[in-house]
A = this chain, B = another copy of it.
Amino acid sequence: MSSNSDTNTKWIFSFTEGDGKNKKLLGGKGANLCEMTQFGLNVPPGFVITTDACLDFLDSKDNELPATVMEQVKEQMLAVEKATGKNFGDAKNPLLVSVRSGSALSMPGMMDTILNLGLNSETLQGEIEQTGDARFGYDTYRRFIQLFGKVALGIDDEFFDKQFDAVKQDAHVREDVGLSAQNLKEVSERFLKVIEEQTGRPFPQDPYEQLEISIKAVFNSWSGKRAVDYRREFNITPEMANGTAVNICTMVFGNRGDDSGTGVAFTRNPGTGNNDLFGEYLVNAQGEDVVAGIRTPKQIVELADEMPEMARQLEQLRQNLEEHYCEVQDFEFTIERGILYCLQTRNGKMNAAAMVRTSVEMEQEGLITREEALLRVDPAILEQMLYPQLDPANKTRPLAQGLAASPGAACGHAVFDADRAETLGRDGGQRVILLREETKPEDIHGFFAAEGILTSRGGKTSHAAVVARSMGKPCVAGAEDVSVDVSKREAYVGDAVIKEGDLITIDGSIGDVYLGEIATVEPEFTPQLETLLEWADDAAKLLVMANADTPDDAQRAVTYGARGIGLCRTERMFNSIERLPIVIEMIVAENSDERSAALDKLLPMQREDFKGLFKTMSPHPVTIRLLDPPIHEFLPSERQLMDDLENLYHLRRSVSGMDILAGTMALLHSPEEARKEAAEMRGYIELHVLEEAIAKKEAMLQKVRVLYETNPMLGHRGVRLGITFPEIYAMQIRAVLEATAECAAEGIEIHPQVMVPQVCTAEELKHVKRSADSIRKDVEAAVGTEVEFHFGTMIEVVRACMRADSLAEQADFFSFGTNDLTQATFSFSREDAENKFLPMYNDNGILQDNPFEVLDVKGVGKLMKLAVKWGREVRPDLKVGICGEHGGHPASIKFCQQAGLNYVSCSAPRVPVARLAAAHAALMK
């Protein structure tokens, strides 16, 4: 006896009585069948054996079903017989059923379907009579025997295949379709023998015995190795799904003639969201024929011509499904002799555009509420709509894989340096992909000219990745299988060669690299998306701003609906080709005067930058972060310089060597000739030019070594730089305030915000504020009007969180820089961690997520909450935002709302994602 056995326990529910919401008890499929039946769809009659019965069975010592199960099965079968007018085991008009597993969660590894159960040598004859098709009858029978043998009795397919092949050989037939009814009869007889040989018992002829064996097999499959492994792998706990139900359903046949058929359809187009039935069908066919791909199915629109009444019924079914489920449905149907049955339905999987369109239109049709429409769309998928994607139809295999460093797909001619990118791309009008081992600030013009960037070294935070993301260009970084030989203008992947000019395609959303051109699909900011995001803005509590460094960025951000700039990284403005030399001049300056002279040249440029941003973003606020990175980032690397010098030294030795060689030769040939020869050789390189180049490089190397830091992340940067070289911040603040004054004079409404990076103590803020106030007075005196600005601080140093109270005395606003804050909280250098141990930490479950992608609520988030609390204790109206990469991540945005932030700021392409996520955060509390 099994443990929970109780003669009163109801183990079984008919489709007409089961609770369609109780997936736990009935499994997902069973509940679905009950629900469909009960709201009036034509589902073939049937019933569900509960998961409780499964658990009871598995608990039992002797692997016995609960005592009353088979009794209840028989009761239910009587009801089904009554509903169908057929009888189970009847030799005239036999009832055949399918048996399927189904737990609360869809889960591979459990028992497959058994079809046509109920056939035996007697009922087979009834079936043949009913259909008038002996071949169909024997074919159905042999299929049933094999499926039952394999699935319920565990007999390997090979035993059946061997017999099947033998019959084919005897009949001199190659394809299954060539077999006659007689051949298939022999097959079924041989299959019955296989069963007997393998199990030592004859094939069960009693349909109820077939049914009981099948039910037990389904239950046992719950504790089979594959299912158990799957549950462990995906952390499926008993609370989520425990045991499987068994669904027993009347067989219907779509292959009963030209008035029969079968198909699958979506209630709306899952690719476009178009409000029309979308799908395929086959006349006179079973579902497995559609799957097997032997016949080419027809588009559902053709059904109206072929079977107009069926088309009408199907349209009715579509409406019933949507009215009931209020979501786009993906359903299966069968037509048996002019009667339409719905066999299964589930929410349709759609691409982003379709998801957005159907959600908005369903709201407009009154099917769902605005809130439902918003919550239905996963914010993360919106990004798809903003970047070019590879054509989903693409089947080409990638040549190499790297890191998905900046999303989007692009195709272009491979070029191996930035100058060439400019020549071919900007000047030559070609699409190019910049392909480098790694990139440097001096390659920036190549980024502008290229469609996308591919590097063979570096991670998601490498220069290439960061700059590409900031420009919104696709980038695949660190594709380590690609080896680049710049001197030969070739790259290699295994045996494949990419020559300069060859077309390549990269997919920065995934990290794939392809040889040749792969078609891409352009992004579209659809009217429905705009509508959805307007609703989102109404619902949201968090304001969404953008990280933008140039007027172009800002324009894009405005298009995407950003309500201001939360972070403008001024150092990005230093990186352009015409400014970098001035920046380097400023860095290598020997004293404050030289430094100021260089800064004076940068001032008007920065002022124009800011004016451009202010105008584009008016009337929204623009937050200018003062210079942040260590200044050595603007210089070439030590290794680069050493390599360059090595080459120059080598050249110098060669040049000098030529003199020696020439001297030696003079002894051999005539002195006259030797002199001439030596002069010619030297002519190739003017020694003094070489010496100058060497001196310049050596000076630069010297400076790089002086500026060297063992841990640049934690080094001389941000406000520390601003305090040691006050001229730099003074220039930037003056540029902001002068731009403000000029915009004001033009009548443009702007709200500039100056933000100080890397702050760890209020004294730093006071220091910068004093300077800013004095510059403000200066500028005000010059223009004769007041110049307003807000003054705030990044919170990206842990100590800033600890001292949030005293920082709030100085700052009008806080902006969490969660990239740096995460690094400091974990003591992880992102670059090193992602290369060296984070993947391993994620694999071993030591960390659930990469904290640089998903905000670490328990650590970093805890700090943030403390900082917000302490800051607002001092300044209750303190504005608090976030401007790290996390600012665009839905889960992190939810946390930001819980933590009481006022705004999030993220890169322009993530603004739509963030707007919707902000609405979710507000609605899902």
Contacts and interface: CB of A to CB of B under 8 A. Distances in A.
Interface of A: 638-639, 642, 646, 664, 667-668, 709-716, 720, 723-724, 758, 760-761, 763-764, 767, 796-799, 802-803, 820, 823-829, 831-833, 836-837, 840-841, 844-847, 856, 858-860, 862-863
Contact of A723 (B709, B761, B844, B856): B844
Contacts of A724: 836-837, 840
Given A832-B709, A832-B715, A846-B761, A799 B820 contact: no
30 contacts: A667-B667, A709-B832, A710-B712, A710-B713, A710-B831, A710-B832, A711-B712, A711-B714, A711-B829, A711-B831, A712-B832, A713-B829, A714-B714, A715-B836, A723-B841, A723-B844, A723-B846, A724-B836, A724-B837, A758-B827, A760-B825, A760-B826, A760-B828, A798-B798, A798-B824, A798-B825, A798-B827, A798-B859, A799-B827, A824-B825
A764 B832 contact: no
B844 A826 contact: no
Contact of A836 (B639, B646, B716, B798): B716
B713 A714 contact: yes
A826 B714 CA distance: 8
A844 B803 contact: no
A828 B720 CA distance: 10
A847 B767 contact: no
B797 A826 contact: yes
Contacts of A858: 802-803
A188 to B, nearest CB: 57
A856 B803 CA distance: 11
Contacts of A716: 832-833, 836-837
B760 A827 contact: yes
Q: Is the interface of A mostly helix, strand, loop or mixed?
A: helix
A845 B797 contact: no
Given A723-B841, A763-B846, 9 more contacts: A713-B714, A713-B829, A714-B823, A714-B832, A715-B833, A716-B837, A723-B837, A764-B846, A798-B863
A367 B758 CA distance: 55
Contacts of A860: 799, 802
B802 A825 contact: yes
Nearest to A797: B827
Nearest to A708: B832
Contacts of A764: 846
A829 B709 contact: yes
Contacts of A863: 798, 802
Contacts of A832: 709-712, 714-716
Contacts of A712: 710-711, 832
A720 B837 contact: yes
Given A714-B713, A767-B846, A827 B829 contact: no
Contacts of A844: 723, 767
A752 B828 CA distance: 30
Contact of A711 (B711, B763, B846, B862): B711
The 8 closest A-B pairs by CB, nearest first: A711-B829, A714-B829, A799-B859, A715-B832, A716-B836, A763-B846, A711-B713, A797-B827
A456 to B, nearest CB: 15
Contacts of A763: 845-847
A716 B828 CA distance: 8
A898 B862 CA distance: 24
Contacts of A711: 711-714, 829, 831-832
A723 B840 contact: yes
A666 to B, nearest CB: 12
A639 B708 CA distance: 13
Contacts of A862: 802
A761 B847 contact: yes
Given A710-B831, A714-B829, A846-B723, A859 B803 contact: yes
Contacts of A668: 667
A638 B840 CA distance: 27
A140 to B, nearest CB: 55
Contacts of A840: 723-724
